Structure 1
Amino acid sequence: MIIKLWLLLFLLFLSVFGKAQEMVKRKVPDSLAQATSSTTNISEVILQSAPRKMKLNDGNLVVSVAGNRDFKTSTHLLDVLRKTPGVTVDQEDGIFIGGRIAPAVLIDGKPVVMSNQELQAYLRSLSPDMVESVEVNTNPSSKYDAEFKGIIDIKLKKNTSLGWKASYNGNVYINKFNYRENAFNTSYHTGKVTYSLQAGYNEGISTYRYQALQRLANTNMMRTHTYQEDFGKVYSIQTGADFRLNDKNRLGINLRGNFRNNDRSRNGSLFTTDQNETQTVLNTASENPTRYSQYNYGITTDYSFQNKGFKLSFLGNYLSVKNKQKDDFINRDQAVTNLLSYWKSDLINKINIYTAQIDVSQKIDHADLEAGVKYSSSDTQNNIRYDTLSAGSQFVFDPARSNVFSYKEKIWAGYLAYRQKMGNLQINAGLRFENTNSISNAITVDSVVARNYLKWLPSLSANYTFNKSSEFSLSYSRKITRPVFSQLNPFRFYFSPLNYWIGNPYLLPSFTSQIKATYRYKNWITSFTVGKEKDVMTRYPLYNPETNVLEYLGTNLPYRNFAVLETSFPIRITKWWNVTSQITGYYNYEFRPYLDEVFALKIYNYEVRLNQVFSLPKGFTVNVFANYESKTGNSLYIIKPRYTIDVSVQKSWLDHKLNTKLGFNNLLDSYEQRLEFRHKQIMDNRFTHWWDSSRLVFSLSYTMGSSKYQVKETQKTEEENRTR
């Protein structure tokens, strides 16, 4: 029914738009048509020398990065993504598209398995000049993993120059403390082999504050304050080689490591008064020092064979992650400094992930037939031990909070995709299957959950190009989202002595069906997405009025309906002043059972972005970026409005080899997140998260090398040809 509906809409749109174009053509005199034709020819020459900053590829937004004035003042790729239409980067460098979808990040069309921390460090090591383009895909086809509800594909600039190239990029962020980033990138191209090396070192202190106000069940008022300083060091290294064995065969290998150490000090207080806030009932001070380390090792190999219209490729990934964390939780009576409680935790987490996939494609006239198979295996082991200080001043093993948990998952997947071009119309169809076999084992509490299920996931899209200025795309897909390890892990992770969250090993995967329509007129791009998600994974608060403990637990909601309307367009106000605007509207309807009641609210909200670029005399570029988010939330919480303004200036020196940037992010320190529980009869609670994102930023990058001339590229993939 859904497929028939969107096909009817698509045919109706083509019919109406086609008639409108015919009417316009009939009213245009021959002389004007000739003038228009001449102008079009001149425009084609201009476009070849200066490509559009934004375009569509199969209905997906593609934004050029290197050489784009909108990103001249950006310090690294994460900063570029913050200004990319349709992409949001939060205060903790989490990346989201289409609302709150965490996308998969592909490098040159290939999924590279990285931990979140390693990915953030890698994106910070990429300067804008190293990236050719970014493609934002909010409705991936069946060709991609079904868990990819969204994709950001980063196309790196190829070193086609013989010889050696190198660059250094350094950034300093200054707030109460400062944080420093250093990245060194070098490559050597012989014509047959390209060798590359990337190394990074980041160090500094970041701060975070949490405040909460809660009216307790006995009408007392409790205020929670938390202040955190996090001193971190991150070392990263990545090296690889890309071998062109001949015109048909290529082989690549990449080795990398990422090492992180953090010493965190977290101090807080629980201050409780009577309902009139005149008499102190309780005043507790807490200390939570933490020592954390993470060690990542990864290997990626890829091979491709291409002969005329046939292509075969193999991609293999291995990732090993080891996390260690030691915490102390010390609680004292603030008035008399007596020790109230003291416990310790010791966490060891090990993750091993293997993936291997083979893809083949055959071009037949104007059609492409693709097929592929993928196997992935992940094994996660967690062991957390709690020890509590007893009355005898001895630390005693705490079995109630300690746990050993393992999770193993194996996925077999395959797909078949067909693409046919018929004049200005292109049809894409695909079908994917994924068989998931998982076992979660909470060893300490003797709880085993085993699942084995097979799902078929179709996709279909149509793209119609009216002319060089306008095109339309309509697509449908069905996706599966499996719970990640942190959602399944039944361990306690504390925010404060009375506030923690726990994973749920019984969570089910969710399924999303959605339709997306996209229309482009020149550089004006508008998209509309509507869909439904079943078995939505979420967290909910559970308050204990006797102990005043607030837990956050995981569950599946029956369903939610959603829609996203987004438009972005550049405006050239003057020769030296360009503005890129983005307006996005969101609709969300959750059906949420909670504490023997059902809460179902329709939530509407919007987001507005303005990215202004001023090209000033003597090579200076000034950027003013503003972002406003309206009031939003879900069935349980209200999220208050917030906004941010960033200002930066850029200047190149020494024949563009030296680049300097100076800016101030979150100029007015206005991007804190404030939440309030909607239903006061259940719980009266409001809280605020604040990160030190208001920072003065200084960036310096320098490019060097001895390249002499360009090497002719003789082999390009179909995807590369379409995006150039």
Structure 2
Amino acid sequence: MAKVFPFFCFLMMLCLFTQAQDSTISTRQLQAVEVNANPPSVRQQADKLVITVSGNRLFRTAVNGFDVLKKVPGLEIGGDGALLLYGRITPAVFIDGKPVLMSPEALQNYLAGLSSDMIASIALINNPSSQYDAAYKAIIDIRLKQDITLGWRGNISSSLQRNAHTYSDNQLQLTYKTSKITYMTRLGYTKGTTIYRYSALQHLASTDILTTSTRVPTTNNNFSYQLGADYNFKKDQHIELQFSAYLINRDAYAYNTLHATDATAQHLVFNTKTENRYDPTQRNYLVNLNYAGQWGKTQLQLLGSFAQANTRQQEDIQTSDIISKMLEDYWKTALQQDIRIRTIQADLSRETSYGTFRTGSRFAFTSTRNAIHYDTLNKEHIFVPDSGRSNNFHYDEYISAAYLSYERKLGKFDLSGGLRVEHTHSVANSITQQQVTRRNYLTWLPGINAAYTISENQQIGLSFARRITRPNFTQLNPFRFYNSPLNYVVGNPYLLPSKTNTLALTYTIRSFTFTLNAGRETDAMLRYPEYDTVTNVLEYLGKNMPHKDFATITASIPFTVTKWWRMQHNISSDYRKEQIPYHGVTYAVGVTDFSIRGSQVFTLPKQFTFDVYYSYRSRSGISLYIAKPLWNVDIGLQRSWLKGKLNTRINYYDMFNSTTFTIVFRQKQIINNQLSHWYGQQRVVLSLNYSFGKSTYKAKQLNKNEEENRAGL
């Protein structure tokens, strides 16, 4: 089934696409539908790909932001909620044109609680210009619906999901709008249990066979809120203030077993269990102050942000022999992590008869304070400090940036170019190990973009950009984070930033979009394993590779079969080849894979909408690892009630429980192991979304975005 179903979907999609291209009658029907219906669901607009969400039948069964994003061309969402574009890029998330400074967990909570009914459109910028921060290799800009009525409005959404556990997510949003001031409040509450499983199979140097199994149910009791006000104090000038918080309270229990037999798998060598009870808490706070003004053809925007994330976690880790029940190890840990991010940014643009000039600057200061303390039970049954594992790590990073860009339209050509320069100063201080690493470097980042309008429905674009990727705090932190007693991850404070040169070619015809990205990343960062043949400890370390070549081609193909049957397919193929020096040999294995993600949407009688979503990714990997094929099928049913005010949805995710991420190490003479991650994707979700409120009359919307205009909002 795992092989037949994706292949069947792929053949069906090709057949339908061929019919749409070769059949004159079908083509005429398709064109008629697109001319008379809403704007195309996917279209190219200057340097970005815009996906219309509001009013689009393809998204009617989408429960939240994640359901919407998984239909974006080239974008994958991991079982842990991580976003990955073209199989290698973690895109930055913007909301209404502004970057979101949230921790990964806070961002995932925001997207999970963001109802699809609140989203107007999504813009994908796969090769950002010099106007954007150099760390952004790609940008996903989520544009929310803007209410143009005065008075108050409200929206309440609630979802309940069930697999082996129950989990609920509840959101309330209230907006009060006057002629000059808009007030906004958003409250969120999640409660319930999620599940994660990790397993590994490893042939040890002694020829013994080791099986690792970890099960982690986590109970959540999380609360979030957001308060904001937008004041239009003069014509074409406004100031906006937002404050948000995400408060995480969790109770987790990790149960791990290590089961080892001899090479014949007949005789037991050892069998241990490790129980880890921990209660992670996190407090995320974000303050944004934004000013925007326009004087004739001159625009100025000022943005200041302050973000703070405080994490506390205590662990109680006990390892014992399953047969004898003898206690082998007993640890207690205490983790304290504080991260602060301060940014200030100014952007100025001026339209002239010779084109549009833009200039701006940005300063960001990030500081992290991380301390972890281990206590180990000794032979006298007394807990004593474990200096071998305890550590104290501080990291400070200062980034100063400035850019200048120019845009001009010449006939059917849209041309733009710019240069960004960034200065980075960082200090990584491992206090316990008494090692300080300082970095001080200047980076020049050019970018150009050219687009040509062939006809009203056709456009071709070519762009080049150089971006920089700085190692994040987790990659630099020299702490040990254990997956099991014999497996841990540790950071490398000596990591260098990587630089990526990317060339992107985009062609659109009506709703069909084709994109090619190719380039090289130098000093690319990699996690690699080191295996101790004596202790059987497997540790994952970080280092820089010489370079990595990549290329990706993506096709987005939406079309209408009949009035009641629409579909969209995103097909992509990735190529990557890393130069990885490892154990005296440089491995350079070229890996090519392909993926297909499709959605079949049926408009049924009684105003029901039924959606079948499926995805398949072929065998993939890098020079050191092989990633096994991955596939899944989701279904959803949606209906609107009360003149569209109430939306109900029921979704069945991962129907065949097939979403298990498995990788195998290529060089079995060094390490012969296989790892699998399972995130409990199979679940049934029931969701409700209700809009309410009382408005007086419509007011003129000064800054209504183009996506909303084209969607007829």
Q: Give the secondary structure class of the aligned counterpart of 2:579.
A: strand
Q: Give the secondary structure class of the aligned counterpart of 1:123.
A: helix
CA distance in 2, matches of 1:377, 1:610: 42
Q: Give the secondary structure class of the aligned counterpart of 2:107.
A: helix
Q: Contact 1:112–1:300 at 8 Å: present in 2 too? A: no
Matches within 5 A, 1:65-76: 65-76=53-64
CA distance in 2, matches of 1:116, 1:710: 38
Structure 1 residues 336 and 44: CA distance shift in structure 2, 3 A: closer
Q: 2:657 maps to what in 1?
A: 669
Q: Give the secondary structure class of the aligned counterpart of 1:100.
A: coil
Greater length-normalized contact order (CA 8 Å, ≥ 6 residues apart)? 2
CA RMSD of aligned residues (A): 1.8
Select the residue among 260, 265, 271 that pairs with 1:277: 265
1:657-702 Cα shifts (integer Å, max 9, x gaps): 1111011000000010111111111111112111110001101111
Letter in 2 for 1:566: T
1:385-434 Cα shifts (integer Å, max 9, x gaps): 00000001000000111010000000100000100001110101010000
Unmatched runs of 5 consecutive residues or more in structure 1? 1-38
Matches within 5 A, 1:608-687: 608-687=596-675
Q: Give the secondary structure class of the aligned counterpart of 2:471.
A: coil
CA distance in 2, matches of 1:346, 1:714: 52
1:97 equivalent in alignment to 2:85: yes
Q: 1:152 maps to what in 2?
A: 140
Q: 2:512 maps to what in 1?
A: 524
TM-score by length of 2: 0.94
Note the C-alpha offset of 1:353: 0.6
Note the C-alpha offset of 1:124: 2.0
CA distance in 2, matches of 1:146, 1:589: 23
Q: Contact 2:149–2:695 at 8 Å: present in 1 too? A: yes
Q: 2:551 maps to what in 1?
A: 563
1:170 equivalent in alignment to 2:158: yes
Q: 2:172 maps to what in 1?
A: 184
Q: Contact 2:608–2:639 at 8 Å: present in 1 too? A: yes
Q: Give the secondary structure class of the aligned counterpart of 1:80.
A: helix
CA distance in 1, matches of 2:260, 2:702: 72
Note the C-alpha offset of 1:100: 2.2
Letter in 1 for 2:51: V
Letter in 1 for 2:532: N
Note the C-alpha offset of 1:460: 0.3
Q: 2:3 maps to what in 1?
A: none
1:513 equivalent in alignment to 2:501: yes
CA distance in 2, matches of 1:699, 1:400: 49
1:479-522 Cα shifts (integer Å, max 9, x gaps): 00000000000000000000000000000000000100000011
1:81 equivalent in alignment to 2:69: yes
Please identify, of 482-491 and 243-252, the stretch whose mean Cα deviation from structure 2 is larger: 243-252
1:2-38 Cα shifts (integer Å, max 9, x gaps): xxxxxxxxxxxxxxxxxxxxxxxxxxxxxxxxxxxxx
1:552 equivalent in alignment to 2:540: yes
Letter in 2 for 1:613: V
Q: Contact 1:93–1:120 at 8 Å: present in 2 too? A: yes
Note the C-alpha offset of 1:90: 1.0
Q: 2:522 maps to what in 1?
A: 534
Q: Contact 2:121–2:707 at 8 Å: present in 1 too? A: no
CA distance in 1, matches of 2:275, 2:175: 47
Q: 1:202 maps to what in 2?
A: 190
Matches within 5 A, 1:593-608: 593-608=581-596
Q: 1:29 maps to what in 2?
A: none
CA distance in 2, matches of 1:292, 1:138: 35
Letter in 1 for 2:568: T
CA distance in 1, matches of 2:656, 2:36: 41
CA distance in 2, matches of 1:340, 1:50: 66
Q: 2:491 maps to what in 1?
A: 503
Select the residue among 317, 326, 337 that pairs with 2:305: 317
Unmatched runs of 5 consecutive residues or more in structure 2? 1-26
CA distance in 1, matches of 2:512, 2:120: 21
Note the C-alpha offset of 1:297: 1.1
Letter in 1 for 2:615: N
1:239-259 Cα shifts (integer Å, max 9, x gaps): 100011121211000011110
CA distance in 2, matches of 1:600, 1:575: 50
Matches within 5 A, 1:12-51: 50-51=38-39
CA distance in 2, matches of 1:561, 1:176: 42
CA distance in 1, matches of 2:685, 2:355: 50
CA distance in 2, matches of 1:610, 1:603: 23
1:411-469 Cα shifts (integer Å, max 9, x gaps): 10000010000111010101000000000000001000011111110000100111111
1:161-200 Cα shifts (integer Å, max 9, x gaps): 1111101111111000111000001101112111101000
Q: Give the secondary structure class of the aligned counterpart of 1:188.
A: strand
Q: 1:465 maps to what in 2?
A: 453
Select the residue among 426, 429, 433 that pairs with 2:421: 433
The percentage of counterpart residues that share the same residue type is: 40
Please identify, of 44-53 and 72-81, the stretch whose mean Cα deviation from structure 2 is larger: 44-53
1:317-346 Cα shifts (integer Å, max 9, x gaps): 000110001112211011110000111110
1:357-412 Cα shifts (integer Å, max 9, x gaps): 00000001261100000000011000000000000100000011101000000010
Q: 2:149 maps to what in 1?
A: 161
Q: 2:382 maps to what in 1?
A: 394
CA distance in 2, matches of 1:184, 1:482: 37
Q: Give the secondary structure class of the aligned counterpart of 1:173.
A: strand
Q: Give the secondary structure class of the aligned counterpart of 1:162.
A: strand
Select the residue among 322, 341, 344 that pairs with 1:353: 341
Select the residue among 116, 137, 149 that pairs with 2:104: 116
**Structure 1 stretches of at least 4 aligned residues deviating more than 3 Å after TM superposition:** 43-49, 714-724
Q: Give the secondary structure class of the aligned counterpart of 2:464.
A: strand
Letter in 1 for 2:467: K
Letter in 2 for 1:389: L
Matches within 5 A, 1:1-16: none
Q: 2:248 maps to what in 1?
A: 260
Q: 2:568 maps to what in 1?
A: 580
Matches within 5 A, 1:194-343: 194-343=182-331
Please identify, of 555-564 and 244-253, the stretch whose mean Cα deviation from structure 2 is larger: 244-253
Note the C-alpha offset of 1:86: 2.0
Q: Contact 2:120–2:708 at 8 Å: present in 1 too? A: no
Note the C-alpha offset of 1:715: 4.5
Q: 2:403 maps to what in 1?
A: 415
Q: Contact 2:196–2:215 at 8 Å: present in 1 too? A: yes
CA distance in 2, matches of 1:376, 1:644: 41
Report the number of matched residues: 685
Structure 1 residues 715 and 80: CA distance shift in structure 2, 3 A: closer
1:589-621 Cα shifts (integer Å, max 9, x gaps): 010000111111000001011111000011000
Q: Give the secondary structure class of the aligned counterpart of 1:79.
A: helix
1:139 equivalent in alignment to 2:132: no
